[in-house]
Chain A
Amino acid sequence: QVLLVESGGGLAKPGGSLRLSCAASGFRISDYYMTWIRLTPGKGLEWISFINNTGGTTYYADSVKGRFTFSRDNAKNSLYLQMNSLRDEDTAIYYCARDQEVTSYGSVWRGLDVWGQGTTVTVSS
């Protein structure tokens, strides 16, 4: 069964840090690009970060650039989101999702087809 399971959410103070993890099973993350998305009550879904299959390329939303770092450990079939300098507006449910598949022809985008159940981050003093 193809699954993504996030963990590491919780309560953090403004200016604090959290590290989210996303464990994959049923497929090899080394064959896929991956993405983090968050859901906030006021703003809906927000794309926040992308990583390619090797970890050599990452992209970030302006709202988190310079504060969040997306990394991966293909050997452990896991992904990580290091969140520093947290702000109130980072309060959200964070999801990891499977993105493009890497094939011999290049990457193939079929939407974000597998999502985790989400982990809740609350930033508050």
Chain B
Amino acid sequence: DIQMTQSPSSVSASIGDRVIITCRASQYISNWLAWYQQKPGKAPKLLIFVTSILQSGVPSRFRGSGTGTDFTLTISSLQPEDLATYYCQQANSFPFTFGGGTRVEI
């Protein structure tokens, strides 16, 4: 199975800060990576798929990049509503594993 390692596990930042979350795959996954945002008590929400394609309705301050084994989610200017846990997921081979999550605190 492909292991997905996210870092940091949590980050505390201020409004307006740039936040960078990384996700490393234990094997090559090409661009088959998605990012999700989960707020407390809510279902996860798709932010980005195929590494860098923004899901409809997602603010442009979210950006995904990377390829192969190393990927990044960048929030360019943190907003209060971005308080959440963020997960990466690979879709290169089954099981489509998730990273351990990154909790963003403000």
Chain A residues within 8 Å of B, Cβ to Cβ: 35, 37, 39, 43-47, 50, 59-62, 95, 109-113, 115-118
Contacts and interface: CB of A to CB of B under 8 A. Distances in A.
Given A39-B38, A45-B36, A59-B95, 17 more contacts: A35-B96, A44-B85, A44-B99, A44-B100, A45-B44, A45-B87, A46-B98, A47-B95, A50-B94, A60-B95, A62-B95, A95-B44, A110-B49, A111-B46, A112-B44, A113-B49, A115-B43
Contacts of B87: 44-45
Contacts, number: 65
A62 B1 contact: yes
Given A45-B44, A47-B89, A118-B43, A111 B101 contact: no
Nearest to B35: A111
Interface in B27-81: 32, 34, 36, 38, 43-46, 48-50, 53, 55
B43 A113 contact: no
A113 B94 contact: no
Top 5 A-B pairs, shortest CB-CB distance: A111-B49, A111-B34, A44-B101, A115-B43, A45-B98
A117 B44 CA distance: 9
A111 B47 CA distance: 9
A35 to B, nearest CB: 7
Contact of A112 (B32, B46, B97, B99): B46
Interface of B: 1, 32, 34, 36, 38, 43-46, 48-50, 53, 55, 85, 87, 89, 91, 94-101
Contacts of B49: 109-111, 113
B34 A112 contact: yes
Contacts of A117: 43
Contact of B46 (A39, A43, A113, A118): A113
A111 B43 contact: no
B63 to A, nearest CB: 15
A47 B96 contact: yes
Contacts of A44: 85, 87, 98-101
B32 A45 contact: no
Contacts of B53: 110
